[in-house]
């Protein structure tokens, strides 16, 4: 059950300490559930997904310190000893290496993430200062976040759209978080948008049908054997997974904040989603056998997770599987859709989206949710808005000089 947030007077700052014991780590893992305000739309993630992300010894994101390092902190009310917040300070070595390949003089960036806090400025300030001090001590010059633990996972702070459903693979924060961070001196680095379309809306459906017709004509004019668009073959999961990973990394390589996903990370991500993937939602465009475009969409598993009644042990995933089988998701989330360098000249992007739209309609998907799109990515936003998508949530990445 959520805690009743204790009052924290300004002359009684909270105690903030690093996570050192197993009991500390258990508390760190469970704190969001205890602190989340009643009545919020937050959907608690499955423990089998969320808990491994905090295993710094085993999770491939950290790669035993070669990929990343992190320090976790807990905040306790000085009088009641109740836990009132948590934060992680993260150094993603791959991110900094990726940045310096193109900009050798780029300043080292540290991240903060896994931020949960009661509505109390002294608590937020002490947590953010703890993360900043640790990152500064490791030689970082700037702090970005929230990233839990990187751009490839929960990224950004929800600042608009708290009344919308909490979709799978997106973060959720109560409305008071943004004022807390800004009162602590953090400023906007970049905003990202999430967009939704309701395919049962007559006007939206008419726009989508026209788009599908136009892209179908484009495909019909395509030279035979020139470019092919196909669903992945889930029977060849390992091989197909590598093809999709390489295409995703190539499509997103120049995106702001992106770090190429390692082989082991991708293997874990893909493996966790394997039984829920629909081959018709994962499309690859190829020319002469080489991938030049990809779409990756997944069901909104939060629709199922939000209905779970048993959130302990092996009963949690069992109930989840039963509910997912009995009641398929009505929403599909587009995680990646794009083309690599050179793909644009063949008109691959619209054809990929057109084929994905056909497949989503064939599977009776009602809502389509577009993953985080940079606010200044007009090339992506313009066609989405034109064809009926509504930008209904805004996520902000904050920064602070160290």
Question: How long a stretch of residues is the chain?
Answer: 402
For β-strands 157-160 and 187-198, DSSP reports them as unpaired
Number of folded domains in the chain? Answer: 2
Question: Token pair for residue 125?
Answer: 């300030």
Q: Are 112 and 23 in a shared domain?
A: yes
Q: Are 224 and 186 in a shared domain?
A: no
Q: Over 80: is that where the pLDDT of 3 sits? A: no
Higher pLDDT, 391 or 213: 391
Contact (Cβ atoms closer than 8 angstroms) between residue 95 and residue 110 = no
Mean pLDDT computed over 193-221: 84
Give per-residue pLDDT as tens, 52-88.
999 999 999 999 999 999 999 999 998 888 999 999 9
Higher pLDDT, 326 or 137: 137
Q: Assess if residue 377 is contained within a domain.
A: no
Give per-residue pLDDT as tens, 104-146.
788 999 999 999 999 999 999 999 999 999 999 999 999 999 9
Q: Are 322 and 264 in a shared domain?
A: yes
Q: Assess if residue 278 is contained within a domain.
A: yes
Q: Assess if residue 393 is contained within a domain.
A: no
Q: Are 183 and 243 in a shared domain?
A: no
**What pLDDT sits at residue 1?**
41
Categorize the per-residue pLDDT at 368 as very low, low, confident or very high, splitting at 50, 70 and 90: very high
Question: Token pair for residue 119?
Answer: 């509505």
Question: Token pair for residue 349?
Answer: 């992007």
Q: Which CA distances in Å does 346 have to 281, 283, 291, 333, 342?
A: 21, 16, 13, 26, 8
Among 37-41, 113-117, 299-303, which is the least confidently predicted range? Answer: 37-41
Q: Are 174 and 40 in a shared domain?
A: yes
Q: Assess if residue 400 is contained within a domain.
A: no
**What pLDDT sits at residue 219?**
61
Q: Are 269 and 346 in a shared domain?
A: yes
Tell me the sheet residues that pair with 296. 282, 336
Higher pLDDT, 174 or 254: 174
Q: Which domain does 243 fall in, by range?
A: 200-365
Contacts of 277 (CB under 8 A, 6+ apart): 234, 298
Q: Is the peptide bond before 332 cis (omega within 30 degrees of 0)?
A: no
Contact (Cβ atoms closer than 8 angstroms) between residue 317 and residue 184 = no
Alpha helices in 253-314 (DSSP H): 263-273, 302-305
**What pLDDT sits at residue 92?**
95
Burial class of residue 204 in the structure, from the number of CB atoms within 10 Å of its CB (0-12 exposed, 13-18 middle, 19+ buried): middle
Contacts of 270 (CB under 8 A, 6+ apart): 237, 241, 244, 245
Q: Assess if residue 317 is contained within a domain.
A: yes
Categorize the per-residue pLDDT at 254 as very low, low, confident or very high, splitting at 50, 70 and 90: confident
Q: Assess if residue 381 is contained within a domain.
A: no
Mean pLDDT computed over 10-33: 90
**What pLDDT sits at residue 2?**
45
Question: Token pair for residue 154?
Answer: 């929960």
- Taken in order 224, 226, 230, 236, the sign of the CA dihedral is positive
Looking at 158, 192, 226, the residue that finishes a domain is 192
Give per-residue pLDDT as tens, 212-243.
888 776 666 555 447 888 999 999 999 999 98
Q: Assess if residue 213 is contained within a domain.
A: yes
Looking at 192, 222, 248, the residue that finishes a domain is 192
Q: Over 50: is that where the pLDDT of 7 sits? A: no
Nearest to 369 by CA among 388, 348, 355, 382: 388
**What pLDDT sits at residue 51?**
92
Q: Count of alpha carbons within 13 Å of 144, Cβ hemisphere only?
A: 22
Q: Are 215 and 154 in a shared domain?
A: no
Q: Assess if residue 389 is contained within a domain.
A: no
State how far the Cα of 341 lies from the Cα of 251, in Å rounded to an integer.
8
Higher pLDDT, 341 or 336: 336
Nearest to 337 by CA among 275, 392, 394, 387: 387
Please state, rounded to an integer, the average pLDDT across all residues of the chain.
89
> Helix 202-221 crosses helix 348-362 at what angle (to 10 degrees)?
130
Q: Are 22 and 138 in a shared domain?
A: yes
Mean pLDDT computed over 280-299: 89
Contact (Cβ atoms closer than 8 angstroms) between residue 181 and residue 128 = yes
- Structure-token match 């906007």, residue found: 188
Categorize the per-residue pLDDT at 341 as very low, low, confident or very high, splitting at 50, 70 and 90: low
Q: Are 254 and 161 in a shared domain?
A: no
Among 17-31, 97-111, 140-154, 352-366, which is the least confidently predicted range? Answer: 97-111
Mean pLDDT computed over 7-25: 81
């Amino acid at each position: 059950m959520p805690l009743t947030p204790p009052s924290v007077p300004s002359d009684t700052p909270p105690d903030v300490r690093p996570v050192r014991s197993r009991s500390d780590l258990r508390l760190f893992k469970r704190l969001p559930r205890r602190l989340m305000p009643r009545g919020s739309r937050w959907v608690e993630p499955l423990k089998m997904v969320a808990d491994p992300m905090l295993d710094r010894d085993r999770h491939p994101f950290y790669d035993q310190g070669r990929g990343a390092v992190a320090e976790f902190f807990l905040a306790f009310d000085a009088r009641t000893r109740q836990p009132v917040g948590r934060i992680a300070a993260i150094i993603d070595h791959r991110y900094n290496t990726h940045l310096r390949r193109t900009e050798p003089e780029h300043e080292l960036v540290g991240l903060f993430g896994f931020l949960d806090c009661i509505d109390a400025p002294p608590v937020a300030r002490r947590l953010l200062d703890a993360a900043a001090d640790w990152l500064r001590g490791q030689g970082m010059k700037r702090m970005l976040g929230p990233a839990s633990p990187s751009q490839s996972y929960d990224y950004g702070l929800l600042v608009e759209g708290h009344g919308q459903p909490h979709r799978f693979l997106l973060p959720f924060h109560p409305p008071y978080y943004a004022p807390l961070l800004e009162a602590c001196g953090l400023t906007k680095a970049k905003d990202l948008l999430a967009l939704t379309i309701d395919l049962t809306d007559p006007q939206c459906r008419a726009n989508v049908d026209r788009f599908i017709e136009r892209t179908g004509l484009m495909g019909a004019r395509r030279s035979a054997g020139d470019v092919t668009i196909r669903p992945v073959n889930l029977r060849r999961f390992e091989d197909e997974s590598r093809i999709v990973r390489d295409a995703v990394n190539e499509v997103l390589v120049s995106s702001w904040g992106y770090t190429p996903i390692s082989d082991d990370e991708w293997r874990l991500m893909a493996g966790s989603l394997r039984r829920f993937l629909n081959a018709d939602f994962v499309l690859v465009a190829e020319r002469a056998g080489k991938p030049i475009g990809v779409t990756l969409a997944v069901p909104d598993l939060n629709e199922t997770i939000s209905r779970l009644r048993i959130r302990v042990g092996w009963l949690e995933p069992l109930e989840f599987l039963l509910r997912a089988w009995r009641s398929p998701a009505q929403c599909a989330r587009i995680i990646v859709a794009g083309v690599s360098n050179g793909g644009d000249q063949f008109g691959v992007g619209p054809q990929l989206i057109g084929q994905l739209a056909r497949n989503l309609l064939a599977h009776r998907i009602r809502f389509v949710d577009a993953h985080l799109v940079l606010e200044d990515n007009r090339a992506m936003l313009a066609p989405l808005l034109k064809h009926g998508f509504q930008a209904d949530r805004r996520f902000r990445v904050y920064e602070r000089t160290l």
